């Protein structure tokens, strides 16, 4: 993982900024028509020190994709832990929550095996029939 370069912006900030600023707050600066965002990572209001790192802001869809990129089986189980899952629609719901069709199939298989135990009336477990779901 690449370390983000800290930038000291202390000399450019006002007394009012230091009164209002909080560590973790995101600031936006526009230069040459380009808006860049920086997160405060070090703040000392007494010594008037403020260091920031450049950060990217994402819309809800982008944030969801980023969070799901590192999705684990534990994350899926936690998401559905208090929900009774028994129907075909429930299977589809779990599959589409994890990833688009054709993506993360091993994780989908593991999650369905844990969340849908037992067999249907024909004697098949849900995990045995995953290929029949287009969401898989």
**Residue 107 pLDDT:** 95
114 belongs to a structural domain: yes
According to DSSP H, which parts of the chain are helical?
A: 15-20, 60-69, 73-79, 88-98, 105-115
Q: What domain range includes position 117?
A: 60-132
**Residue 1 pLDDT:** 46
The edge-to-edge listing of strands for the beta sheet with 49-55 is 7-8, 49-55, 34-44, 26-31
117 belongs to a structural domain: yes
2 belongs to a structural domain: no
1 belongs to a structural domain: no
Q: At what angle do helices 105-115 and 88-98 cross, to 10 degrees?
A: 140
Q: Which of 59, 46, 113 is nearest to 85 (CA)?
A: 113
Q: Which of 24, 41, 76, 92 is nearest to 67 (CA)?
A: 76
pLDDT digits 0-9 by tens, 19-50:
999 999 999 998 889 999 999 999 999 999 99
Q: Is the pTM of this model over 0.85?
A: no
Number of structural domains in the chain: 2
Q: What is the mean pLDDT of each run of 10 residues along the chain (136 residues)?
A: 80 95 94 92 96 91 82 93 90 93 94 88 87 94
| 86 and 108 inside one domain | yes
121 belongs to a structural domain: yes
- Cα distance from N-terminal residue to C-terminal residue, the chain: 32
Containing 42, the helix (H) or strand (E) segment is: strand 34-44
| 41 and 72 inside one domain | no
């Amino acid at each position: 993982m690449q370390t983000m370069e800290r930038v000291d912006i202390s000399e450019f900030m006002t007394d009012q900024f230091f009164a209002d600023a909080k560590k973790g707050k995101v600031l936006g600066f526009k230069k040459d028509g380009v808006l860049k965002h920086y997160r405060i990572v070090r703040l000392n209001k007494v010594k008037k020190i403020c260091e920031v790192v450049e950060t990217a802001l994402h819309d809800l869809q982008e944030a969801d994709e980023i969070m799901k990129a590192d999705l684990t089986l534990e994350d899926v189980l936690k998401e559905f832990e208090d929900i009774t899952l028994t129907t075909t629609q429930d299977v589809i719901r779990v599959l589409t929550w994890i990833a688009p069709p054709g993506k993360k199939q091993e994780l989908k298989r593991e999650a369905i095996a844990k969340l849908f135990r037992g067999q249907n009336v024909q004697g098949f477990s849900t995990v045995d029939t995953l290929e029949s779901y287009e969401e898989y």
